[in-house]
Amino acid sequence: MTYQLEEPFFEEKGRITSQKEIGGGETQMTFSSNGTMKGNIEVTNTGDFVMVSKGNKETSAQGQGVVTIKDGNEKASYTFLQVGKTTEDGKPVLRGCAVWSTDSTGKLAFLDNMLSFFKVEVDENGNFSSKDRELN
């Protein structure tokens, strides 16, 4: 059995909108972004996650989000797990997987029960870019 990652179906740019230390090396964060699904479906993405610092410039996180198409008529939700590492340049790079769910029968219907893998790059100001790919 062979698995491969498809071309990105979701590309976004956004920023961390808030962060709060909640103790025990954990930080609660919220984010917001704009992006495109399948190259032409404009969406917004909002969510939150709890990040755990593991020392050695490594992190892990668990969170959730909601993607809404620009006209507001369709939504999809997802939960995710991610791990992060800071590069030698001091930039965090995060990798993870997301499980998607939607009741949509329109443009976002393809997301229902999808498992995706993503990579996020974050700058020093909390701005990020991300790409999601489906496992096929």
Task: Tell me whether residue 127 is in a domain.
Answer: yes
Summarize pLDDT for 4-62 with one digit per residue, the tens.
Answer: 889 999 999 999 999 999 998 999 999 999 999 999 999 999 999 999 998 888 999 99
Domain range holding 44?
8-135
Q: What percent of the chain has pLDDT over 70?
A: 100
Measured between alpha carbons, how far is 111 from 101 in angstroms, rounded to an integer? 6
Token digits of residue 124: 């020093």
* Those residues with Cβ within 8 angstroms of residue 93's Cβ, 6 or more apart along the chain or in another chain: 84, 85, 86, 87, 119, 120, 121, 122
74 CB burial (10 A radius; 0-12, 13-18, 19+): buried
Domain count, the chain: 1
Task: Tell me whether residue 54 is in a domain.
Answer: yes
Task: Tell me whether residue 1 is in a domain.
Answer: no
CA angle 75, 77, 79 (to 5 degrees): 170
Task: Tell me whether residue 3 is in a domain.
Answer: no
Task: Tell me whether residue 90 is in a domain.
Answer: yes
Predicted confidence at residue 26, as pLDDT, reads 96
Q: How confident is the model at residue 112 (pLDDT cuts 50, 70, 90)?
A: very high
Measured between alpha carbons, how far is 22 from 28 in angstroms, rounded to an integer? 7
Q: What percent of the chain has pLDDT over 90?
A: 82
Q: For the whole model, what pTM was predicted?
A: 0.92
CATH of the domain at 97: 2.40.160.20
How many C-beta atoms surround the C-beta of residue 82 within 10 A? 19
**Residue type at 53?**
S
Average pLDDT of every residue of the chain: 95
